[in-house]
Structure 1
Amino acid sequence: MALSDDYLYHYDYNNYSYEGILTPNEEPVFQHKATCLKEALCVSLLVVSVLIFLLGFFGNALVIWISGFKMKRTVNTIWYLSLAISDFVFCGFLPFSIANMVMEEWIFGLFMCKFTSSVMFINMFSSIFLLVIISVDRFVSVVFPVWAQNHRSVKMASVTVVLAWLLAIALSVPSMIFRDVSTHLGTTICYNNYTLNHSHKIVVFSRLLAGFVIPFIIIIVCYSIIILKLRNNRMTKSSKPFRVMTALVAAFFISWLPYHVFVLMELNHQNYDHRILITGLKVGTSMAAANSFLNPVLYVFMGNDFKQRLKSSLLSKMENAMADEGRTTSRYLSRSSSMDARASTHI
């Protein structure tokens, strides 16, 4: 679930955002009054944020409970568990952003300003990296079954997850460095105070490459090769895997593209209408945050037939969805050709 270093679901401001607020004849107003509940866009985004929090928090909690406590520890359950934990933590911090959105003021102090932003970025990057890891793992299992059989292990998966989280932490350090709190015109805000030369551009482009461009390319390449592999298999009759893979790639692209577009526009904020820029960043972050509850749906519920899932309890079918994929991968590793046919239902 990756979001702006400037508007990471706090909808706050950079150090330049104070410019142009007052005209020479205006007097500063120090009595802050929140107007969010009077604006249609703000109310709509608020409703969306609450829904993302509820669906993402409880949906990912359910996945964590099943994959972490109800299932045998396998490579697949490690992927599901790590991804769910990432999205769960992200959703757990959304109430701070929701409160900030309603009050239009940051009331939680400097430490929480830095901490919440850093934690959200850690989970943004870790979630994206885990989506990439899942794509690569499926690619290796389908294209190199013998190698996967010899090297694909729970230990290797655990090490890979730890490395992904460490990289996510490293990329989130700028939030701890540049995040600051300031009171202006009677309003306390949590914002990014880019005081070093070109620091804003460096942070934006590094996060664009590491958090969108490179992961998207890897996901596209992996799933394209998997699709070609399955299409060339005469035993593969179902078109379902192609629809699922298309949904996975489309969800990633649609969720994150608007956010990154407006973050890039923000670098030259003086060339754009301030209201359009703010609105675009708010909508973009909402769309990106939606990935936090889409992930359990895409990676768990779409793996098996949804109608059959409705006929039994939610918990048992979620467990079956993850377990079936693990069994499918195992069968592929022992019999490559038959695995291609069975993978058409589960990948």
Structure 2
Amino acid sequence: MMAQEDGDYVNDTYEYMEYGYVEETKAGGYTQRETLHIISAIIYSLAFTLGVIGNGMVIWVTAFKSKRTVNSIWLQNLAIADFVFVLFLPFSIDYVLRDFHWIFGKMMCKLNSFVCTMNMYASVLFLTVLSLDRYISLVHLNWSERYRNVRRAWWVCALIWFTSFCLSSPALIFRDVIEHNEKVVCFNNFHDEDNKHMLVVRHIAMVSLRTIVGFLLPFATITISGVLLAIKMRQSDSVRVNSFSRTVSAVILAFFLCWVPFHTFSLMELSMHHTTYLHSVLIVGFPLATSLAFFNSCVNPILYVLLTKKVRKLVRKSFLNFTKNSLRELSQSVSATELDSALPSFSPEETTANSCV
């Protein structure tokens, strides 16, 4: 664990909930921003509960209860990315409730941030593929029928996971813990003792990579493919948007609405290397923007149920089957218990006597 003086700590950069821990006052002390902490903890807890149930159900349905198609593979992998992420949310909830005191050690600090970043990259890349696949399957039918199959979809998924792993690897390198004001903080340690300028360079490089690859390029790709699809629909009566396509549009819109504030505040954060003009805005805005981004991990299953009639029917059928099987097992268990209690009990001597007779 590192330990730093106040002067060095002020120069460190913050990512993922590191704004809003404490606010420096004119007297030099610190006051807790309890309202932000409570809001963050509530949103994380809600995202964890809904995310585990919702994404777990999507994984179960797409893996075991529905026909294996290219579309189901995209949705299953998107749900896996969100499911793994929400499983790590209790660490963030504990961090907030302890007034941002990290008790899980350096390796969990790295792993927690790595999973969070990989979720962002994997989600946006799967949404980009979903958008492109929707355009190809509706517009380029001949190419789609020839090359679009389940085996190739799994190869694309493997490539997306590998790419997300590589793009998230800086978290395993730079994430660190320090002891500051009698608390242990999990943060991005961009310091280089031999070259202080590297702090700024590394921070700008990480934010730029995350904004360009994790937001701007996917957003441009999705927007262009959506516009081309709309133009093709207007020109041709043979192209029709089905319910799944509308669901994909809603999922994509929800992702960008949830992540736009986070990327905006990340870019605003770069100004902290030159001026503290936006410091108060970042202290209030960054935790809320991060909470909104994290909440996106539980939104997709809700959209599937609300917008897709087939999914609602399948979930209802699966739930009814599960309930029937549970009640049947409970009934059999109760019957067996009643039968055992109804049978007369014999002592060892009685049993021996009966056997002799």
TM-score (norm 1): 0.77
Instruction: State which of 50, 54, 70 in structure 1 corresponds to 2:49.
Output: 54
Instruction: State which of 4, 7, 28 in structure 1 corresponds to 2:15.
Output: 7
Alignment check: 8 A CA contact 1:13 1:191 kept = no
Q: Which amino acid aligns with 1:214?
A: L
Equivalent residue of 1:271, what SS? coil
1:282 pairs with 2:297 = no
Which residue matches 2:191?
A: 195
Q: Which amino acid aligns with 2:139?
A: V
Q: Structure 1 residue 238: deviation in Å?
A: 8.5
Which residue matches 2:266?
A: 263
Q: CA RMSD in A?
A: 3.0
Alignment map for 1:82-231 (pairs within 5 Å): 82-103=77-98, 104-196=100-192, 197=198, 198-231=201-234
Alignment map for 1:290-309 (pairs within 5 Å): 290-299=295-304, 301-304=306-309, 309=312
Residues 83 and 305 (structure 1 numbering): CA distance in 2 closer, same or farther, change over 3 Å?
closer
Alignment check: 8 A CA contact 1:139 1:222 kept = yes
Alignment check: 8 A CA contact 2:18 2:187 kept = yes
Deviations 1:222-280 (A, max 9, x none): 22222233333447799978965663443233211111111111111233343321221
Structure 1: how far apart are the matches of 2:81 and 2:232?
31
Instruction: State which of 60, 67, 70 in structure 2 corresponds to 1:72.
Output: 67
Alignment check: 8 A CA contact 1:13 1:192 kept = no
TM-score (norm 2): 0.75
Deviations 1:276-333 (A, max 9, x none): 2122111111111122112223356423389xx4xx5734389xxxxxxxxxxxxxxx
Which residue matches 2:348?
A: none
Q: Structure 1 residue 123: deviation in Å?
A: 1.5
Q: Structure 1 residue 57: deviation in Å?
A: 1.4
Which residue matches 2:353?
A: none
Deviations 1:132-155 (A, max 9, x none): 111111111011111110111111
1:43 pairs with 2:38 = yes
Q: Which amino acid aligns with 2:202?
A: S
Which residue matches 2:6?
A: none
Which residue matches 2:343?
A: none
Structure 1: how far apart are the matches of 2:38 and 2:212?
32
Structure 1: how far apart are the matches of 2:240 and 2:212?
37
- Which stretch has the larger CA shift, 148-157 or 235-244? 235-244
Alignment check: 8 A CA contact 1:7 1:285 kept = no
Equivalent residue of 1:64, what SS? helix
Q: Structure 1 residue 44: deviation in Å?
A: 2.0
Structure 1: how far apart are the matches of 2:173 and 2:185?
16
Point out where structure 2 has 5 or more consecutive residues left out of the alignment: 1-12, 193-197, 320-357
Structure 2: how far apart are the matches of 1:241 and 1:83?
15
Give the number of the structure whose alpha-carbon radius of gyration is greater: 2
Structure 1: how far apart are the matches of 2:317 and 2:117?
33
Alignment check: 8 A CA contact 1:220 1:249 kept = no
Equivalent residue of 2:179, what SS? strand
Deviations 1:52-107 (A, max 9, x none): 11111110000001111222322111111100000001111111001101112111
Identity %, equivalent residues? 37
